[in-house]
Amino acid sequence: MELLALGACRQVGKSCFVLKTLEGLIMLDCGLDPSYHDDQRYPNFGLAFSYGPLKAVFITHCHADHVGALPILTEKWGYDGPIYMSAPTRELSYFVLEDCMGAWGDEGSDSTRRVGSYTHREISSCLAKVDIVEPEKTIGVGNNVQVYSMIAGHVLGALMFYISVDSYRILYTGDFTSCCTFHLSGARVDIPYPPDVILSEATYATSLKDGRLNKEVEFFQSVLDCLLDGGKVLCPVFAIGRAQELLSLLEMYWQRFRLSFPILFSTKSAHQVLQIYSKYAHHWTRMEDVMSKSPPTWWKRIQVVHPEQLLDAVQQWDTPWVALTTPGTLARGLSLQVFRRIATDEKNLLIIPHFCMSSGMIEKGDEFHVEDDHDWEGNESMGMIRCKTMNLHFGFHADTRDLLLFFSHWKPSCIVLVHGEGEKMDYLARVVQEELGIPCWVPKEEQWVTWNKMTS
């Protein structure tokens, strides 16, 4: 059996893997690497096509590193075969792909909006070609490939795939969580036979998550303490996934404690994404359990505001509020603009609710740029961060313990680790080999991985 890794090799971005079968190629995910603005942004489709015709594409979930290159494949390379993903993934992907092309706030025509490498029309055309796959259903490709889909946790609509190809069985995890989060259940892996190979994400190859409940309580308590003290809270978030987790958490606590501080949410597609969450909540989330009410009453306490409105509110409102904004970093955009306005008051609080490299963590006492521009003498205008800052890492991936339990439970003949940091994956691969006795590979980009079936 042969697998070509076109991305997410010793790094997180650009998940795209190609399985070579007797009848042609099967592609698993089709992501981009947002850190590049040249050819390296997308998988090397030309290389894949040199090995045979592409028969089907399976997309695990809506994040850009898994779906961001799909319009390139369909609209630029002309692939018009089947593409499978879940219904929520298809709907959410529209907004993710729009963000990838960098069209935020641009009112120009399709041609002038082409900041990235595809247009609105191409996104719509691409997603119109998608076939919906439900969880726990099998899709046949040709005569000898069967693909069974299972809920993966991680984000609304995420699936993992169990693929039977020419008598081999491969489990591709995509991004997954093995335990439930506040609003999503964990992965439900229900397969008749153990896989020969597990192709697994390893984002948290060497880290352990704290208990979910502790994080939730710490988050709520920190927000509440700041608001009661007259401060304002800023949480820079990624638009799909973490944002809805934190909003549903705040909504539930606001309901329970009868709080009335404004919860502001400002991202380009905030309304539509919340509607998609409500639409698919019943089958795909735990929200009906945790919210104790039906979808129309959710998000009642969340005020979706335009970025301009939010900036006005920041300037003019004296009352405390909590705001969730994009992007998830303070490098640019609305999150940075709001941060600049709250950073100098020690009553305020910045919460980074996801993994943040120690070099990227912002701390009280650090200096920050007050404006993007320099003054007429070329001096930078710097301010001192006086607000409180904290990094609360809500994990949306399986951690080391989850991965080792998962691998030891299924005991595959071999494991291929992708979607993580190289050295950490090397370490995990050594642990897997030494502790579990299972061969474990960490492939390089554009490298073939081959294995033979073990007879049991």
- 99 binds Zn ion, rule: CB under 5 A: no
In this complex, which beta carbon is closest to Zn ion, that of residue 12 or of residue 429? Answer: 12
In this complex, which beta carbon is closest to Zn ion, that of residue 98 or of residue 196? Answer: 98
Secondary element (H or E) of residue 382: strand 382-384
In this complex, which beta carbon is closest to Zn ion, that of residue 71 or of residue 174? Answer: 174
Selected range binding Zn ion among 50-58, 102-110, 145-153, 168-176, rule: CB under 5 A: 168-176
Using CB under 5 A, count the residues that bind Zn ion.
3
DSSP code of 154? Answer: S
Q: How far is the CB of 63 from Zn ion (least distance, A)?
A: 4
- 90 binds Zn ion, rule: CB under 5 A: no
First CA to last CA distance, the chain: 17
Q: How far is the CB of 31 from Zn ion (least distance, A)?
A: 7
The closest alpha carbon to 175, from 205, 148, 202, belongs to 202
Q: How far is the CB of 11 from Zn ion (least distance, A)?
A: 11
In this complex, which beta carbon is closest to Zn ion, that of residue 11 or of residue 337? Answer: 11
Selected range binding Zn ion among 64-72, 189-197, 299-307, 359-367, rule: CB under 5 A: 64-72
Q: How far is the CB of 333 from Zn ion (least distance, A)?
A: 20
Contacts of 61 (CB under 8 A, 6+ apart): 67, 85, 86, 89, 152, 154, 155, 157, 158, 159, 174, 175
Q: How far is the CB of 233 from Zn ion (least distance, A)?
A: 25
> Checking DSSP bridges between strand 388-391 and strand 447-450, what pairing results, if any?
unpaired
Q: How far is the CB of 397 from Zn ion (least distance, A)?
A: 8
Concatenated DSSP letters of 403-456? HHHHHHHH--SEEEEESS-HHHHHHHHHHIIIII---EE-PPTTEEEE--PPP-
In this complex, which beta carbon is closest to Zn ion, that of residue 41 or of residue 63? Answer: 63
Q: How far is the CB of 263 from Zn ion (least distance, A)?
A: 25
Selected range binding Zn ion among 59-67, 97-105, 110-118, 360-368, rule: CB under 5 A: 59-67
Selected range binding Zn ion among 108-116, 167-175, 181-189, 291-299, rule: CB under 5 A: 167-175
Taking CB under 5 A as the criterion, the residue among 75, 91, 122, 175 binding Zn ion is 175
In this complex, which beta carbon is closest to Zn ion, that of residue 62 or of residue 449? Answer: 62
Cα–Cα distance measured from residue 251 to residue 259, given in angstroms and rounded to the nearest whole number: 9
In this complex, which beta carbon is closest to Zn ion, that of residue 69 or of residue 385? Answer: 69
Q: How far is the CB of 320 from Zn ion (least distance, A)?
A: 33
Binding track, positions 7-46, relative to Zn ion; x by CB under 5 A: ----------------------------------------
In this complex, which beta carbon is closest to Zn ion, that of residue 241 or of residue 295? Answer: 241
With beta carbons less than 8 A apart as the criterion, state whether 27 and 429 touch: no
In this complex, which beta carbon is closest to Zn ion, that of residue 48 or of residue 67? Answer: 67
With beta carbons less than 8 A apart as the criterion, state whether 353 and 246 touch: yes
Site for Zn ion in 324-383 (CB under 5 A): none
Q: How far is the CB of 181 from Zn ion (least distance, A)?
A: 13
Cα–Cα distance measured from residue 219 to residue 357, given in angstroms and rounded to the nearest whole number: 19
Q: How far is the CB of 8 from Zn ion (least distance, A)?
A: 7
Selected range binding Zn ion among 38-46, 169-177, 247-255, 346-354, rule: CB under 5 A: 169-177
In this complex, which beta carbon is closest to Zn ion, that of residue 32 or of residue 48? Answer: 32
Neighbours of 332 (CB within 10 A): 10
- 242 binds Zn ion, rule: CB under 5 A: no
Cα dist from 110 to 76, 106, 215, whole Å = 16, 10, 43
- 63 binds Zn ion, rule: CB under 5 A: yes
Question: 320 preceded by cis ω (within 30°)?
Answer: no
Q: How far is the CB of 158 from Zn ion (least distance, A)?
A: 7
DSSP code of 11? Answer: S
Selected range binding Zn ion among 62-70, 85-93, 101-109, 420-428, rule: CB under 5 A: 62-70
Q: How far is CA 175 from the centre of its chain?
A: 8
- 65 binds Zn ion, rule: CB under 5 A: yes
Neighbours of 22 (CB within 10 A): 11
> Is residue 45 helix, strand or coil?
helix
With beta carbons less than 8 A apart as the criterion, state whether 280 and 90 touch: no
Residue 426 tokens read as 């090397």
With beta carbons less than 8 A apart as the criterion, state whether 71 and 99 touch: no
Concatenated DSSP letters of 230-278? T--EEEE--TTTHHHHHHHHHHHHHHHHT--S-EEEE-TTHHHHHHHHH
In this complex, which beta carbon is closest to Zn ion, that of residue 173 or of residue 413? Answer: 173
By CB under 5 A, name the binding residues for Zn ion: 63, 65, 175
